[in-house]
Structure 1
Amino acid sequence: MKPLHSLDTIATPANAWATTAGAIVSPAFHYLYGTNRQDILIVLFFLIALDWITGISAAKKDQSYSSDYGLSRIPRTLFLMALPAVANLLDRVMGTPGFLFYGVTFGLIYHTWTSLTANAHRAGWPMPKSVEKLVSAEIKAKAERAKRKES
């Protein structure tokens, strides 16, 4: 019987590729987004994922989903993920310690939150009336877009 921590289970080609990818991606990630900003970026990326989930559920419910619409969300998502990196790079150029990065990132978090909340409402998921009222303009805009897609 092999020991649990033998080298032949650790030194595999798959682990080597994962290690190499991490060694390349991690410095690039820190260069683009800055150091010690993982938490706020995880919040943003998590909200973007929730926006996709609620958007798909809402579109299936009101039958406004099309593959073209879904595919157009990919460049939009990449754009949303790139904006904090651009803001961080501009902060470095201008010498402002995170002013643009945090402004852009919090703005995107709020925008994504309103979008996913409106999508959840369209999907028929329960939500407090106060939250519905807060995002009512986004709910109305998404409902109108869905109706235009039907016709």
Structure 2
Amino acid sequence: MRFAQSLDNVATPANGIAATVGVFLAPAFQYLYGTGRMDILILLFIMNALDWVTGIAAAKKDLTYSSDYGLSRIPRTLFLFALPAVGNLLDKVMGTPGFLFYGVTFGLIYHTWTSLTANAHRAGWPMPKSIEKLVGSEIKAKTERAARKEHK
């Protein structure tokens, strides 16, 4: 009797909808990104989330944040998540075993890392000097871009 009662919490309409969505989305993700690539995609997702967080913190600190700027980041982020799928599909067409997928994905991760690191520096968050040195050109570019926005 107790086991049957515990199923009442599992067999809900919301869980049924979530399971149905998962049944259709999982094969689509595997087709678009390939199998066994979840770790690198999660890393790309986390890096983009951190880029958003640090970008917002930096923009609020130097008073350059606007809702228009924030909304313009949505298509950019969707574009960044589409590029690995394009790389994977090109790999399928060309018969290469993940060459373009991994090249594009690691390139995006590196680009996002430099962006979020520069944003964290602009936000005034502590960072090792060696890291600041590695992304110095990105820090300079973001600082100059923020200064131009302030004067508009």
Indicate whether the TM-score tops 0.5: yes
C-alpha RMSD of the superposition: 1.3
- Residue 26 of structure 1 and its aligned partner are, at CA, apart by 0.6
Q: Which residue identity is paired with 2:150?
A: E
Residue 148 of structure 2 aligns to a residue whose secondary structure is helix
- Which residue number corresponds to residue 7 of structure 1? 7
The count of corresponding residues between Structure 1 and Structure 2 is 151
Residue 36 of structure 2 aligns to a residue whose secondary structure is coil
- Residue 150 of structure 1 and its aligned partner are, at CA, apart by 1.2
Instruction: Write the distance in 2 (CA, Å) between the matches of 1:113 and 1:17.
Output: 36
State, as a whole percentage, how many aligned pairs show the same letter. 77
**Which of structure 1's runs of 4+ aligned residues deviate more than 4 A?**
1-5
Q: Which residue identity is paired with 1:134?
A: L
Instruction: Write the distance in 2 (CA, Å) between the matches of 1:64 and 1:16.
Output: 44
Q: Which runs of 5+ in 1 are unaligned?
A: none
- Residue 20 of structure 1 and its aligned partner are, at CA, apart by 0.6
- Which residue number corresponds to residue 135 of structure 2? 135
Deviations 1:34-72 (A, max 9, x none): 000001111111000000000000000000101110000
- Which residue number corresponds to residue 86 of structure 2? 86
Residue 6 of structure 1 aligns to a residue whose secondary structure is helix
Instruction: Write the distance in 2 (CA, Å) between the matches of 1:36 and 1:65.
Output: 38
Query: Residues 1-151 of structure 1: matches in 2 within 5 Å?
Result: 3=3, 6-151=6-151
Residue 131 of structure 2 aligns to a residue whose secondary structure is helix
Instruction: Write the distance in 2 (CA, Å) between the matches of 1:54 and 1:61.
Output: 10
Distance 1:5 1:103, change over 3 A: farther
Instruction: Write the distance in 2 (CA, Å) between the matches of 1:30 and 1:104.
Output: 17
Q: Which residue identity is paired with 1:49?
A: A
